[in-house]
Amino acid sequence: MPVPLRTDFDAHALRVIARQTKDGPQARRLLALAAIYDGATRTEAARIGGVTRQIVRDWVVKFNAHGPDGLIDRKAPGQPSKLTDAHRAAHRAALVARVDAGPIPAVHGVVRWRLIDLIQWLWEEFRISIAKQTLSRELRALNYRKLSARPRHHAKSEVAIAAFKKTSPPKCPAQVAAIAQAVGGKPLEIWFADEARVGQKNTITRRWAKRGTRPSAPKDQRTASAYIFGAICPAAGKGAGLVLPRCTTAGMNLHLKEIAQAVAPEAHAPVLVDRAGWHQSKRLVVPANITLVPLPAKAPELNPVENIWQFLRDNWLSNRIFTSYQDILAHCCAAWNKLTDQPWLIMSIGLRDWAHRF
């Protein structure tokens, strides 16, 4: 016996829904069922739907259970994940802890986790066997991605960095707060300064390309180079820079003069720099409106100018062939001027919560 249709719909109602829907297969199924409401046989309904009577019977069952929405094709749920069941939450937490801790080369035999290593660990620890694709989806669902590591000095002191970042009542490093008291309440502009070498042995950056290919980029082996002396005031979106042939104390003196001219009138500028020799030289001539503040040793990540260099290289300086020293100067000057013409960009890259009032 044919399965009867539910009684809270009729042929007219199904045809109205079929006209309104944007799902073609659903409209076809609704029209087939509307014919049944009008008294057509299941064979005639199957001819209208372009299917067999068994499929019409399946439509009727779905329609009776879920109404018109039951006739919409839905994506099959697939196999449930082996790591997402409630009773396996501990396994997911253990996986997160394992990825965050990283491998111990002497113990695990690798310097970074590969999917195959984590699969082996899951089997040894929990007797869970999963495919590489499944584990990759799980890690992505946990917000993990395969990223390039940032260089870190092996002798960096986390204690010294934490002590430097420790803020005083005005919410800036204690050394900067001491400068504020020493200058008699003048407004402060916190600046960061650093240098970057740009030369014919240029860097190659990542680029979009089809999977399975390896894109090429021009690479020069000549050695002409120049140095960008750059300083930024992230709070004001200002920058002061010079392009010079060498990194020396004389070049640093020129750069300090350039920064001093960019500091607002009546303001004083603590300039945070690393511990390079030309930053600490006794032959430096520091302008009256500047005080140099050394950053902790071996901690370049405290200086946002490092991120400025990365941005300049990734967007304007890399993947180029510099024909001469003058060509290097021209491109370096153009890149720095393009940066300083966008103060919001300096703010976005350079602001730090430990150094500024937020």
CATH of 159-206+218-350, one of 3.40.640.10, 3.30.420.10, 3.20.20.70, 3.60.15.10: 3.30.420.10
pLDDT value at residue 205: 81
The length of the chain is 358
Residue 268 burial (10 A CB sphere; 0-12, 13-18, 19+): buried
> Taking the domains of the chain in order of start, what are their residue ranges?
11-71, 96-141, 159-206+218-350
CA distance 61 to 65: 6
pLDDT value at residue 358: 43
Query: Are 202 and 318 spatial neighbours (Cβ–Cβ below 8 Å)?
Result: yes
Low-confidence ranges of the chain (pLDDT < 70): 78-88, 150, 167-172, 357-358
Q: Counting runs of H as helices and runs of E as strands, what totals does the chain give?
A: 15, 5
List the 290-294 sheet strands across, edge first: 238-244, 225-233, 191-199, 269-273, 290-294
